[in-house]
């Protein structure tokens, strides 16, 4: 099986899109990620998967905390900015929740303390203990087969 075939198959799993954010020495760093899921209700745990080549990896190892910001349908540009895919680089203003940077107007802002990390292949899984969250009543941005999508109207 080649890499393209594996990527194509994984891309058939429709997901939302998140921006993971953290702060080290006063500098906020964000990164687009769709490898996110809920792990446990009691205690409340989530997991994110960060590539070994991503700048974000060392930053979360240092800060030991992060936010997961589930993007709203009209936040595709933010996804592209934090994936390094936009020429439109600009300063992004973050809000704070429990002192952790969060993206304004995200459908959900989830803030976590790292409770465990596991190196697996070329990624590291961070288990986050959820310390607070905020939810907005907005539609999510969707990612499927390498393209951004919107939920269809009912």
Q: Residue 122 belongs to what H/E stretch? A: none
Q: Which residues contact 32 (CB under 8 A, 6 or more apart)?
A: 17, 18, 19, 20, 79, 80, 82, 83
Residue with tokens 């989830």: 110
**In terms of CB distance, is 29 or 102 closer to ligand FAD?**
29
Applying CB under 6 A, does 103 fall inside the site for ligand FAD? no
Applying CB under 6 A, does 63 fall inside the site for ligand FAD? no
Binding part of the chain for ligand FAD, among 66-74, 78-86, 106-114, 129-137 by CB under 6 A, reads 78-86
**In terms of CB distance, is 35 or 114 closer to ligand FAD?**
35
Applying CB under 6 A, does 29 fall inside the site for ligand FAD? yes
**In terms of CB distance, is 18 or 133 closer to ligand FAD?**
18
Q: Please check whether residue 84 is in contact with residue 19, taking contact to mean a CB–CB distance below 8 angstroms.
A: no
Q: Where do the DSSP E strands lie in the chain?
A: 15-16, 18-24, 27-33, 36-40, 45-51, 65-70, 95-97, 100-102, 108-120, 123-135, 141-144, 147-150
**In terms of CB distance, is 33 or 110 closer to ligand FAD?**
33
**Phi first, then psi: what are they for 2, rounded to 5°?**
-95, 170
Applying CB under 6 A, does 55 fall inside the site for ligand FAD? yes
Show contacts with ligand FAD in window 119-148 (CB under 6 A). 143
Among 51, 114, 125, 127, binds ligand FAD (CB under 6 A): 51
Applying CB under 6 A, does 84 fall inside the site for ligand FAD? yes
∠ CA(144), CA(17), CA(5), 5° rounding?
35
Judged by the rule CB under 6 A, the positions of this chain that interact with ligand FAD are: 17, 28-35, 49-51, 54-56, 79, 81-84, 89, 92, 143
């Amino acid at each position: 099986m080649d890499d393209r075939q594996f990527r194509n198959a994984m891309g058939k799993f429709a997901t939302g899109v998140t921006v993971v954010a953290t702060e080290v020495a006063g500098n906020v760093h964000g990164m687009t990620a769709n490898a996110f899921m809920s792990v446990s209700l009691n205690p409340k745990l989530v997991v994110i998967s960060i590539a070994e080549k991503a700048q974000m990896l060392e930053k979360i190892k240092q800060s030991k905390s992060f936010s997961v910001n589930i993007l709203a349908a009209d936040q595709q540009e933010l996804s592209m900015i934090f994936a390094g895919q936009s020429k439109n680089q600009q300063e992004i203003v973050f809000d704070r929740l429990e002192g952790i940077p969060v993206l304004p107007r995200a459908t959900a802002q989830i803030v976590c303390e790292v409770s465990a990390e596991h190196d697996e292949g070329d990624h590291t899984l961070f288990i986050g203990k959820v310390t607070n969250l905020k939810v907005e009543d907005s539609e999510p941005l969707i990612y499927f087969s390498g393209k951004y999508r919107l939920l269809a109207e009912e």
